[in-house]
Structure formats: C-alpha cells, structure tokens
Amino acid sequence: MQNALIAAILVTVSAGKDNALHLYELHPDSNKLEQHEKYDLPGSPGSQFVSPDGKILYVAVRSDNSVATFRINRTNKILIPLGLTKIGANAAYLATDQTGKTLLWASYSDGLVGSHSLKENGEVKPGALSRIETKRCAHAILTDSSNRFAFVPHTGPNAIYQFRFDAKSGKLTKNNPLTTSPAAGLEPRHLAFHPKLPIIYCDDEKGDSVTAYHFNLDTGQLKAFHSQSTLPTDFDGSQNTCADIEITSDGRFVYASNRGHNSIAGFSVDAKTGKLTSIGQFVTGAIPRSFNLDPDNQWMIVAGQRSHDLHVYKRDSTSGKLKRIFQQSTGQGPSWVQFIPKK
C-alpha cells in the first residue's frame, strides 16, 4: 500500500480565471484523473516549477505580482502552503536554477527578468538579487545544465535574450551580445534544452514553427540553424499561434502546442544533427496554452484554456505519437499543467 502511495502520479493545474490551483491524481489503471484538492490564491496563477529535489512547488500568482510556495506531500497527496512572496513583477514564467537555491523569473508585461534567493525551507526571500530590464514580451527563463547561462525568449522583439548566471551570488548579468534572433516574424516563446546535444529548441508564437539553435557551451551564445512548421500544409496559419514546448528525456522527440489549430505538433529528432521531422498533429481542446509530459514520458496532459478541460494522452515511446484516452472538465481558464515527480 505504501509503495502505491509513493508511486502516485500527481498533477497540478493553474486555473487562471478561478484564482485557484487544482491538484489531481492520474490513475494508470483507469486512465482517469481524480481531483484531490483546490487551493485558492490571491490572484491569477500561471507558471509552475518543481524544485530540483522534487520537494517544493512554485506557482506564479500573476495578478498579485507574487510567488506561492508549496511543500509537496506525496504520501498524503496534498500540497502544504508555505507562503506568498511579493516579487514586484507579473511573472509569466518562473524556474529555479540547477541547484534549487535561486528562483528566476521573466515578466512579459513589465519587460523584466529577475532572481531571488530561496530559504532553507524553499520559500522565496523578499528582495531581488537581480532585476534587469529587457523589453516587453519576455516569455520564459531557464538555465542550462552547467548553470552558467540563462536564456529568455521574447516574442515582441523576436529575440532570445542571453544572460550569464552566477550560482554563488544568484545574480544574472547580460551576456555579450545580449540577444540572438531567428528569421524575421517567428517570435520565440518557450524553450527546451536537448539532453545530449548542444542544441536549444524554441517554439515560435507567430511563426507556427519550432526553431533549433546551436548552443556554444563556452560563450553561452545561440545561433539558429533549422526551423520546422508545427502545422499541416492545408491549414491557414493566420488563425494559429504556438504556445508551449517539451522535449523527451532521451532527446528523441519534441512537442509544441498550436492555439487555433488546437493540436500538439510532434517531431522526431535526428540524433546527430538535432534537426526535426514532423510525426503529425494530435487533436486537443480549444487553445492548448500549456501541456506537460510526466517524468517517465509515458503520459501527456494538455489543458484547453478556452474549453476549460484537460486531455490525457498515452505516448508511444517508439513512434512518439500520442493517443488521447481521457478528457474532463477542470477550473476556468487553465493556463499551466505540471506533473509532480514521483521522488
């Protein structure tokens, strides 16, 4: 019984219009989602991130310019609220560094990136370590595996901002040059690091594509070298924008969401070059702003932001293709889906 409890597959969903975080359990035997808890927040939740040790969940409370911190209790299948910290910005995206000692965030509306130190218990300390102006439309921020560099895709200026990161101080500083850009009109939104190759993938909000960048491990500079459409050839791209991106832990497949075509686009990855080949599109709910792969890459859950529902898919590890097996209603305006690691 204890092993079954530890192995529970937990999923959290940010319901933006409800000002609430929903906690579910995915049951592999029935393929269904069971809701355990609903956590009310003082504003609209968005981006989520689980600490590297798997103990803490961070949630951006966007309209409150704050971050909510929860301790993950897998045994009882609950989240324990630890506190709410004002960061002075509306964070569209947040993530810890590789050590889990610093929280990084990017603000779309404010055109800012920043960092905060984390307490021993995981709470966010008030007072920014870094607070750097970029331009509006900062959509994401992640450090590379070496923890020396951080990248921030911006849709508006059609650029990825490049930073150096000092793990000891927790501070970001501008790299030189500060930005790199794909072809005109693509507008990178979210990013994913290849686990083996020095390559970063970004989904392009306006370009309806995924662009691959060579990543110089010494200088922290990116250079675009390949793009692949997320849409079938017979669809009018003017009715679509891309939102989220994921890569499998083995680096063999990349997925990106289409808002408008309402699908997840799948790609196989060339093991040597990192170039992408389409494996098709898989139907979702309306406006799939967020989706997430479970840590074992067997399942995917996609949130329909406009249809207010969750779609559960079983993933074929050989072909990379997705099979939708369950659908259910969730809170209003789901904008983020986060699997909780089993550890």
CA gap 342, 49 in Å, rounded: 15
Q: Quick one: pLDDT at residue 236?
A: 83
Total number of residues shown for the chain: 343
The DSSP string of 250-286 is TSSEEEEEEETTTEEEEEEE-TTT--EEEEEEEE-SS
Residue 140 pLDDT exceeds 80: yes
Question: What is the layout of strands, in order, in the sheet containing 130-133?
Answer: 93-96, 102-107, 112-117, 130-133
pLDDT band at 7 (very low <50, low <70, confident <90, very high): low
Residue 6 pLDDT exceeds 50: no
pLDDT band at 276 (very low <50, low <70, confident <90, very high): very high
Q: Which two tokens stand for residue 122?
A: 């995981």
Mean pLDDT of 299-328: 98
Structure confidence by residue, pLDDT tens digits, 183-239? 999 999 999 999 999 999 999 999 999 999 999 999 999 999 999 999 999 998 789
Q: List the domain range (segments joined by +) for residue 41.
A: 2-230+329-340
pLDDT band at 284 (very low <50, low <70, confident <90, very high): very high
Structure confidence by residue, pLDDT tens digits, 10-66? 999 999 999 999 999 999 999 899 999 999 999 999 999 999 999 999 999 999 999
Q: Quick one: pLDDT at residue 4?
A: 44
Q: Does 171 map to a domain?
A: yes
Structure confidence by residue, pLDDT tens digits, 316-328? 999 999 999 999 9
If phi over 0 gives left and psi between -120 and 50 gives alpha, with beta otherwise, what is residue 30?
alpha
3-state class (DSSP) for residue 239: helix
CATH number of the domain residue 82 falls in: 2.130.10.10
Q: Does 290 map to a domain?
A: no
CA gap 201, 283 in Å, rounded: 22
Residue 2 pLDDT exceeds 50: no
Burial readout 251-284 (b: 16 or more C-beta within 10 A, e: otherwise): bbbbbbbbbbbbbbbbbebeeeebebebbebbeb
Number of domains forming the structure of the chain: 1
Mean pLDDT of 306-314: 98
Cβ atoms of 303 and 257 closer than 8 Å: no
Q: Quick one: pLDDT at residue 237?
A: 76
Question: What is the layout of strands, in order, in the sheet containing 276-283?
Answer: 241-247, 253-259, 263-269, 276-283
Q: Which two tokens stand for residue 156?
A: 């508006």
Q: Does 96 map to a domain?
A: yes
Mean pLDDT of 282-304: 98
pTM above 0.95, yes or no: yes
Q: Does 284 map to a domain?
A: no
Residue 5 pLDDT exceeds 50: no
Q: What is the mean pLDDT of the chain?
A: 96
pLDDT band at 117 (very low <50, low <70, confident <90, very high): very high
Residue 159 pLDDT exceeds 50: yes
Q: Does 146 map to a domain?
A: yes
Structure confidence by residue, pLDDT tens digits, 55-105? 999 999 999 999 999 999 999 999 999 999 999 999 999 999 999 999 999
CA gap 338, 39 in Å, rounded: 15
Q: Quick one: pLDDT at residue 271?
A: 98
Share of the chain above pLDDT 90, in %: 96
Q: Does 304 map to a domain?
A: no
Q: Quick one: pLDDT at residue 322?
A: 98
Q: Does 279 map to a domain?
A: no
Q: Does 299 map to a domain?
A: no
